[in-house]
Chains A and B, each alone.
Chain A
C-alpha cells in the first residue's frame, strides 16, 4: 500500500484511527421522539405488517398507516393508476379495512417494532375525524394521529376541510378535544397558500404538519384518448413533485413554527438531506417503496453514512440549516 494514500485501509489495519461514533439519528416531532427521521407514507405501506418479508420494519423511524375510515371503503373503480414521466398518478379512493379491523387485527402486530406508529385518519363528515381520534385514543401502540384533509381522490369529505382555513381550525380543534396524542395535519399542495392552511391547523391545536399530499393531476393516453384514471383526475406523486414539496416544507417550517414532516418524491439520501435542510424534522417515503420496498431502510443506513461523511454528530443539526442567498 502506498503510504497515506488509503487512510481507511490503514486505519483498519492498525486501529490508529478510532471508528467514528455512530451519529445520532433521533429526531423530535413535538413530544414524539423517532429513532430516526425515516417514515413510510400513508397509503404506500399498507398497514405496516403485510410487507415484513420484503422490508426490515425494525429499521424504520415511523410507520404511517393507510388512511383509515370509520367503515371499510371499497375505493374507486379501475383504472386507478397512471404513470407520467418521473412519477405516479393515482386514484385509489382510500380503499381501506376500516378502523375497527385495524385495531383488532393489525395494531397488535406492530407493537414489536421500535418505529412510532401514526394512524392516518380520513372522514367524509366533519364529525368523523373526532370519532376516529376518540376511538384510537386509548391504544398505547398508536403514537400519533395524522389527519388526511387533502386526498384529491374522494369527492366528499377530507379535502373540503383541508382547503378552508376556518373549517380546518374547527376540525382540528374537535380532534384536539378528544385526544391527548400528537396530531399531525397532512396538507394539500393544491391551495394558493399552504402556510395559511398550516396556520389554521396550528390554531386548532395541531402539533405537526405533514407536507405534502399528492398534487392534483391528469394524463391522457394519446392513442386511446382515455384519461389514464377512471376518475379523470388524480394525485401525482414521486420525484416529479419533490420541488413543490420542498418549497412548501420550507415555507411552512419557516413561518408556522411547528415541526414538519417532509413528503414528496423522497428516494435518495440527497432527498432526505434536502428536506431536512428545508426545515423538515422527518420525512415520509412513499411512491419510491413501490419501486423498491427496501427504500426506507436503505435511507436509514445511507443517512447514517452521510452524517459521518459530513462530520455531523446529530441529524437534528441539519433541520432548517439551508443557507439562503445573502440577497434573498
Chain B
C-alpha cells in the first residue's frame, strides 16, 4: 500500500519505565495493513528542534471501530523523543506511513528473533505474525541493564506461546544471563538449526549477527537504523552501502535487509 500522510490522535503514553515508553496513536483504517518491520515518520515537535521528523518502527497494531491504533516503542534520547513522551491523550501528531519493506517469510524450521535494547520494537509485530502462522521462534533480548529490556513480558509470552524460549541477557547481570545476547544465540546455533535469524538493534550487534548467520549458514534479516531525513525516498540521506558496491536507501529498500547483502 502507499503510505499516507495524516494525523494521529494520541491515545496514551505508557512508561516502561522511562526512558523507555510506548506512544499509542489512533488513526485511519489503512494503518491496519502495517507489516512487521515497517515504520512511520513522526513529527515529534512542532518547533525547530528537531526540525525533521523521526522514524519509528511500528511496535504493535490493532483494529478499532473506525480505524486502527499503532503503538510505537521508543527511548528518550533527545528533544524530539522527550517531547513525544510528554504527549497527552487527545493531542494530535503528524504521521507518515506505513513506510519501508517489512520482514520476509520465516523458514519451516524455527526462527531466532534477536533484539538489542529498543531495537526490539519491530519484533513484537513479527512475533505476532509468526505465532499466527503457527511458526515457532526463540526470542533473544539483550541490553546493558534490566531497564533496557522494555516489554520483556510481552516478548516472553509470545515466544512461549509459539512453543519457543525467551532468553534475556544484560551486560551487568541485573536480569537474565550476564553478557552479550550473542552468547546464548551462539550456543543454540551449535545445538540446533534455526531457519532464519530476524534482528534489530545497534549496528555493532547486527554486524556480529550477520557474521554468525554466515558462519552457520542460517539466513538473516536485519532491520537497520540510519540517519533519515524524509523517510519517503526524496532526500537520499539514509544511504546503506551494499556488498555489490551499490547504494541502497534504508527508507525504501529497507529498513529490513538480507544480512548478506549489506556491507557492514
| A contact residues vs B (CB 8 Å cutoff) | 43-46, 50-51, 53-54, 74-83, 85-88, 90, 92, 95, 228, 238-239, 287, 289-294
Q: Give residues 230-250 of B contacting A (CB, 8 Å).
A: 230, 232-241, 245-247
User: Which listed residue (A54, A74, A79, A289) contacts B227, Cβ 8 A?
Assistant: A79
User: Which listed residue (A75, A87, A239) contacts B239, Cβ 8 A?
Assistant: A75
User: Which listed residue (A43, A54, A81) contacts B5, Cβ 8 A?
Assistant: A54
A78 and B49 contacting across the interface, CB-CB below 8 Å:
no
User: Which listed residue (B3, B229, B241, B245) contacts A90, Cβ 8 A?
Assistant: B229
Q: Is the interface of B mostly helix, strand, loop or mixed?
A: loop
B234 and A44 contacting across the interface, CB-CB below 8 Å:
yes
A74 and B247 contacting across the interface, CB-CB below 8 Å:
yes
What are 25 A-to-B residue pairs whose CB atoms are below 8 Å?
A44-B234, A44-B235, A50-B233, A51-B232, A51-B233, A51-B234, A53-B2, A77-B239, A78-B227, A78-B238, A78-B239, A85-B49, A88-B52, A88-B229, A90-B235, A92-B236, A92-B237, A95-B247, A239-B51, A290-B53, A290-B229, A291-B43, A291-B230, A293-B230, A293-B232
A86 to B48, CA, bound (A): 5
A50 to B233, CA, bound (A): 8
Range class of the B interface residue count: 20 to 34
User: Which listed residue (B5, B53, B227, B230) contacts A294, Cβ 8 A?
Assistant: B5
| B contact residues vs A (CB 8 Å cutoff) | 2-3, 5, 43, 48-53, 94, 96, 226-230, 232-241, 245-247
B51 and A83 contacting across the interface, CB-CB below 8 Å:
yes
CB < 8 Å A-B pair total: 99
With A54-B3, A95-B236, A291-B53 already in contact, 19 other A-B pairs whose C-beta atoms are closer than 8 Å: A43-B236, A44-B234, A44-B235, A51-B233, A53-B3, A54-B232, A74-B246, A79-B226, A79-B227, A80-B236, A81-B229, A85-B49, A86-B48, A86-B51, A90-B235, A92-B235, A228-B227, A289-B234, A290-B235
With a cutoff of 8 Å between Cβ atoms, the chain B residues found around residue A53 in the complex are: 2-3
Given A88-B229, A92-B237: A83 and B247 within 8 A (CB)? Answer: no
